[in-house]
Structure 1
Amino acid sequence: MNELKGKVAIVTGAGQGVGQGIAFALSDLGASIVVAGRTFSKLETSVAEIESRGGRAIAVACDVNDLDSLENLVAQTIEHLGGIQILVNNAQEVPLGTLMEVSDEAFTSGFTSGPLATHRLMKLCYPYLKGDGCIINLGSTAARRWDMRGYGAYGGIKEAIRCLTRAAACEWGKDGIRTNVILPHATSPALGWWIENNPEESAEFISTIPMQRVGDCEQDIGRFVARLCTEDSAYVNGQSIALDGGQGLIG
């Protein structure tokens, strides 16, 4: 269980939910983790759990909307852990609602914290990832829904991340960097809020998942991501991988 020993992973939004589950799973395979996010108390909780399992982690406060903050995240990682082999772009604000409901401010926040932050952090980490790097970006199957009502802005933002991922895979594969995107359904706080506030729609949504459940942040999502970063997946590059119990049809 030490396939990632000696590797350093940055995980944004790792204070809770999917990011936290990914951080735990990467640590369990031996990686040292940079737990990044806006709420430092949540980051400290994640670090404490990793350390209680015998892992190594540091917390770095980071607002992915801000370029200076992203630059500081990379600088702190290099200063304290000496390198970067894994980057997980997870943190993001998402614009929810119909096209008429989504404001310019919400759409802009979604773009800045999503595709732009992903692009920025990939470029900042690129020099350190060369030779033995793995990037995992977070997409969504929302854009693959047959009925896109209420999900146009959200799906559009996430599809931009898929395009950036594919471009990075094609441009940087020769540099020893693999880039993939996962499209997960997971029991994150955000999805929990949506389920609670949309009981009828969420029940219908879950009924369309062949496995009839939403995935666990660590067991179903985190462990897959960790395995994707090992040598077992050394030839997997440029792929969009739905971790959704079989619901989405990804083309």
Structure 2
Amino acid sequence: MAELSGKVAIVTGSGQGVGRGIALALARAGAAVAIVGRRVENTSAVAKEIEALGVRSAAFQCDVKDAASIQSLVASVSRQLGGIDILVNNAQQVPLGPLLSIEDEAFQAGFASGPLATLRLMKACHPFLKRSGEGVIVNLATSAAVRWDMSGYGAYGAVKEATRILTRAAAAEWGPDGIRVLTIAPHADSPALKGWVESRPEEAAAFFETIPLRRIGRCEEDIGAAVAALCGPAFSYFTGATVPLDGGQANFD
């Protein structure tokens, strides 16, 4: 519990799935966690889970595609929880499908909820992360961007690769401010992935065979625990990198 004790974390899209897993893992490491999402019932439920662990938490409603909503979120979190030391940009609308079927609106929503929201949140949190002296930002990418077959993943990969570039730039520019910036690319048993497995069992089975560890990561125990470790003092010299949390499948070289 001591590693992140006294830290305050924001995790967007943390009402379920990967975001919830990361939030719970950060809380188990001692951090107070702001649970952020569009559905109040989901964020409130996760905040109560964390409070049951004896750790401070609060639920916040935010549309990450809206600049004013982001500014309001950051101000509210810093006021209620006493600062910001960790930012996890997890929320994302995903534009999937063949390029000929991707509508402009879906592609724009992917960028608005992904790299644009990530940039806005990083900039809004920067003063607090700098003041912390040990600020950490974790952005989410995807190994779909480096698939051997990009069919159906072009728009999604483009959105997430833009986020990876922002991570590298922020790590370079904000390192002197004591802020570390990392990207993770997880495979996790989120509700969306479980739905895909149920709807396409044969495709899913073939996909699992391409993962050296032959399984999908658990949201809290695998993905969340890794994020909590990356935010801790043991990784204080680690920044600017993409960390594949995918059982060894992706090759980001």
- The normalised TM-score by structure 1 is 0.99
Q: Which amino acid aligns with 2:15?
A: G
Q: How far apart, CA to CA, are the structure 1 residues paired with 2:228 and 2:180?
A: 14
Aligned to 2:127: 127
Task: Give me the CA root mean square deviation.
Answer: 0.7
Q: How far apart, CA to CA, are the structure 2 residues paired with 1:165 and 1:58?
A: 27
Q: How far apart, CA to CA, are the structure 1 residues paired with 2:33 and 2:86?
A: 9
* Superposed counterparts of 1:119-158, under 5 Å: 119-130=119-130, 131-158=133-160
Shift of 1:195: 1.8
Aligned to 2:248: 246
* Superposed counterparts of 1:185-196, under 5 Å: 185-196=187-198
Q: Which amino acid aligns with 1:87?
A: L
Provide the secondary structure at the position in 2 that maps to 1:162. helix
Q: How far apart, CA to CA, are the structure 1 residues paired with 2:180 and 2:135?
A: 6
Aligned to 2:173: 171
Q: How far apart, CA to CA, are the structure 2 residues paired with 1:138 and 1:33?
A: 18
Aligned to 1:76: 76
Provide runs of 4+ in structure 1 moved above 4 Å: none
Provide the secondary structure at the position in 1 that maps to 2:100. coil
Q: 1:83-139 CA distances to partner (integer Å, 9 max, x unpaired)? A: 100000000101000001111011000000000000000000001001220000000
Provide the secondary structure at the position in 1 that maps to 2:99. coil
Shift of 1:55: 1.2
Shift of 1:198: 2.3
Provide the secondary structure at the position in 2 that maps to 1:193. helix
Q: Which amino acid aligns with 1:54?
A: G
Q: Which amino acid aligns with 1:235?
A: Y
Aligned to 2:46: 46
Provide the secondary structure at the position in 2 that maps to 1:136. strand
* Superposed counterparts of 1:86-97, under 5 Å: 86-97=86-97
Aligned to 1:116: 116
Q: How far apart, CA to CA, are the structure 2 residues paired with 1:64 and 1:196?
A: 29
Provide the secondary structure at the position in 1 that maps to 2:97. coil
Structure 1 residue 15 corresponds to structure 2 residue 15: yes
* Alignment match of 1:206 (pick from 203, 208, 212): 208
Q: 1:140-160 CA distances to partner (integer Å, 9 max, x unpaired)? A: 000110110110001110000
Q: Which amino acid aligns with 1:161?
A: T
Shift of 1:177: 0.2
Q: Which amino acid aligns with 1:89?
A: N
Q: Which amino acid aligns with 2:17?
A: G
Provide the secondary structure at the position in 2 that maps to 1:246. coil
Aligned to 1:25: 25
* Bigger mean CA offset, 216-225 vs 43-52: 43-52
Provide the secondary structure at the position in 2 that maps to 1:100. helix
Q: Which amino acid aligns with 1:168?
A: A
% same residue: 58
Q: Which amino acid aligns with 2:46?
A: S
Paired residues, number: 251
Provide the secondary structure at the position in 2 that maps to 1:237. coil
Provide the secondary structure at the position in 2 that maps to 1:3. coil
Which segments of 5 or more consecutive residues in structure 1 lack a partner in the other structure?
A: none
Shift of 1:36: 0.3
Shift of 1:200: 2.2
Which segments of 5 or more consecutive residues in structure 2 lack a partner in the other structure?
A: none
Aligned to 2:228: 226
Shift of 1:185: 0.1
Q: 1:152-171 CA distances to partner (integer Å, 9 max, x unpaired)? A: 00111000000000000011
